[in-house]
């Protein structure tokens, strides 16, 4: 008898009929002889509606209250799923994050899981229950409700799977798996049967927003295989796990893109220690992610510093960067908010010459100008103009022959 953890996202539980559909899928897993723990997100647009309500009340709703408010969405869907399972003749109990033992720190709205106390879940499983856990939430040391941030239900699911020693964590969503590129953009994109954790992390950060990064990291850390599949079909999906074999290496797995990038350049920055820290520390405190940092070679101890942020963070970032840039002696800040990122992802890429060259040539052949380049062990990213992103993804998909059967 295997123990499996399933997670269903907001679009999979958007209304009563969809919840009944999920219940049938959960029941099937149980009937096949498994112990089943299910993590659910809030129904459809519930979370957005609660956020809107909060901002009708106050422009600055307190973090603590905000988290309690948002946590109710997942509690509602978890009880409804338990009822639907009851209706199918299955024993099911819903648990809040607190009841399921998801202990977090006190960083409201972006709490980190400190530990999972599985006692209650295990005892309910032993009594033959299917256990439904409200995702996205936990409880702090003060017994206050916390939420894990966007995508937190994925993290809840993988954390539970790791703590319970589950055989697999199945993330059911509205896409059929991980593709070699966004299928909306590249109809001939292929679904991957499997992908390594590290590659998946690069794909997720760089645009393939199917599963939350923290969940993948956690899966990697605790070696939990994660299946990503559709809740609306029986298509097999993609398994994220440790690379299965040598042959998988040295290959481009997929093309990721992100069409909402903004670039900030500080011109004429004195090149001495501490300047970068002075600029980036306030941004980190404000929780603004910096994606790509490029510092040109310095001439006469003066350099230019360029980095990218999500377009939605640009105004906030500039309000922090401009005064700091001035105080460290920078000449000018310029921005460009019409950019996009396109990346090729695959293990062992940097050890294999030729990938970067092939990427740059493909873009060049399509007349796409590269503004910035950034690389990691398993990824090469180019910043290009937003209006060429579709062309770029298509060009790279062809250049690396990803439409071919593997």
Instruction: Return phi, psi of residue 288, to 5°.
Output: -95, 120
Closer to a copy of itself at the Cβ: 41 or 253? 41
Residue from 84, 164, 275, 317 binding a copy of itself (CB under 8 A): 84
Residue from 36, 82, 121, 162 binding a copy of itself (CB under 8 A): 82
x/- contact string, 139-178, with a copy of itself (CB under 8 A)?
----xxx---------------------------------
Size of the site for a copy of itself (CB under 8 A): 37
Q: Does 61 contact a copy of itself by CB under 8 A? A: yes
Q: At what angle do helices 16-31 and 63-87 cross, to 10 degrees?
A: 60
User: Least Å distance between CB 84 and a copy of itself?
Assistant: 5
Binding range to a copy of itself, per CB under 8 A, among 138-146, 251-259, 278-286, 349-357:
138-146
HEC readout, 92-137? EEEECCCCCCEEECCCCCCCCEEEECCHHHHHHHHCCCEEEEECCE
- Count the Cβ atoms, other than its own, within 10 Å of residue 54: 17
CA distance 141 to 84: 33
Question: What's the distance, Cα to Cα, between the start and end of the chain in Å?
Answer: 33
The gap from C-alpha 98 to its chain's centroid, in whole angstroms, comes to 23
User: Least Å distance between CB 22 and a copy of itself?
Assistant: 11
Closer to a copy of itself at the Cβ: 18 or 257? 18
CA distance 383 to 404: 26
Q: Does 16 contact a copy of itself by CB under 8 A? A: yes
Residue from 3, 29, 51, 76 binding a copy of itself (CB under 8 A): 76
User: Least Å distance between CB 127 and a copy of itself?
Assistant: 12
Residue from 28, 62, 236, 289 binding a copy of itself (CB under 8 A): 62
Q: Does 21 contact a copy of itself by CB under 8 A? A: no
String of b and e for 369-388 (b: at least 16 CB within 10 Å)? eebbebeeebbbbbbbbbeb
Closer to a copy of itself at the Cβ: 18 or 394? 18
> What tokens appear for 353 in the block?
């010459």
Binding range to a copy of itself, per CB under 8 A, among 64-72, 176-184, 218-226, 276-284:
64-72
> What tokens appear for 5 in the block?
């953890």
CA distance 202 to 378: 8
> What tokens appear for 221 in the block?
């850390």
Residue from 87, 312, 319, 338 binding a copy of itself (CB under 8 A): 87
102-104 vs 254-270, strand pairing mode: unpaired
Residue from 4, 37, 40, 75 binding a copy of itself (CB under 8 A): 75
Closer to a copy of itself at the Cβ: 66 or 136? 66
CA distance 290 to 293: 7
Q: Does 300 contact a copy of itself by CB under 8 A? A: no
Kindly state the greatest CA–CA separation across the chain: 77
Closer to a copy of itself at the Cβ: 47 or 180? 47
Binding range to a copy of itself, per CB under 8 A, among 52-60, 296-304, 361-369, 373-381:
52-60
Closer to a copy of itself at the Cβ: 125 or 216? 125
Instruction: Give the DSSP H/E element, type plus range, for residue 170.
Output: strand 168-173
Q: Is 173 left (phi over 0), alpha (psi -120 to 50) or beta?
A: beta
User: Least Å distance between CB 120 and a copy of itself?
Assistant: 8
Decide: 226 and 173 in contact? Cβ < 8 Å. no
Q: Does 65 contact a copy of itself by CB under 8 A? A: yes
In the complex, which residues of this chain contact a copy of itself (CB under 8 A)? Answer: 16, 19-20, 50, 53-54, 56-62, 64-66, 68-69, 71-72, 75-76, 78-80, 82-84, 86-87, 93-94, 96, 99, 143-145
């Amino acid at each position: 008898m295997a123990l499996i953890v399933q997670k269903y996202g907001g679009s999979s539980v958007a209304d009563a009929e969809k919840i009944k559909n999920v219940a049938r899928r959960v029941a099937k897993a149980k009937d096949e002889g498994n112990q089943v723990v299910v993590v659910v997100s809030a129904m459809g647009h519930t979370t957005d509606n609660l956020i809107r309500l909060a901002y009708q009340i106050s422009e600055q709703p307190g973090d603590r209250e905000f988290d309690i408010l948002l946590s109710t969405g997942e509690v509602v869907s978890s009880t409804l799923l338990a009822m639907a399972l009851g209706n199918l003749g299955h024993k099911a109990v819903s648990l809040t994050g607190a009841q399921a033992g998801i202990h977090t720190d006190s960083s409201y709205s972006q709490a980190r899981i400190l530990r999972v106390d599985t006692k209650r879940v295990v005892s309910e499983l032993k009594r033959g229950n299917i256990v439904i856990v409200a995702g996205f939430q936990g409880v702090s040391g003060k017994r206050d409700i916390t939420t894990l941030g966007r995508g937190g239900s994925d993290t809840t699911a993988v954390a539970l799977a790791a703590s319970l020693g589950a055989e697999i964590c199945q993330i059911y969503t509205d896409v059929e798996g991980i593709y070699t590129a966004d299928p909306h953009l590249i109809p001939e994109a292929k679904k991957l049967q499997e992908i390594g954790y590290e590659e998946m992390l690069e794909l997720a950060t760089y645009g393939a927003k199917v599963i939350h990064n923290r969940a993948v990291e956690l899966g990697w850390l605790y070696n939990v295989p994660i299946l990503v599949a559709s809740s609306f079909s029986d298509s097999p999906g993609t398994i994220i796990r440790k690379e299965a074999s040598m042959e998988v290496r040295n290959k481009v797995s997929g093309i990721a893109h992100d069409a909402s990038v903004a670039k900030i350049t500080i011109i004429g920055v004195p090149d001495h220690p501490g300047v970068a820290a002075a600029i980036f520390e306030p941004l980190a405190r404000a929780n603004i992610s910096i994606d790509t940092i490029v510092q040109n070679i310095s001439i006469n101890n003066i350099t230019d510093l360029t980095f990218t942020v999500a377009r939605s963070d640009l105004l906030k970032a500039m309000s922090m960067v401009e005064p700091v840039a001035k105080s460290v002696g920078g000449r000018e800040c310029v921005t460009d908010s019409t950019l996009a990122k396109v990346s090729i992802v695959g293990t062992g890429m940097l050890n294999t010459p030729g990938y970067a060259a092939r990427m740059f040539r493909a873009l060049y052949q399509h007349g796409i100008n590269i503004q910035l380049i950034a690389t990691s062990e398993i990824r090469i990213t180019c910043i290009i103009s937003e209006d060429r992103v579709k062309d770029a993804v298509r060009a790279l998909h062809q250049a690396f022959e990803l439409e071919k059967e593997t």
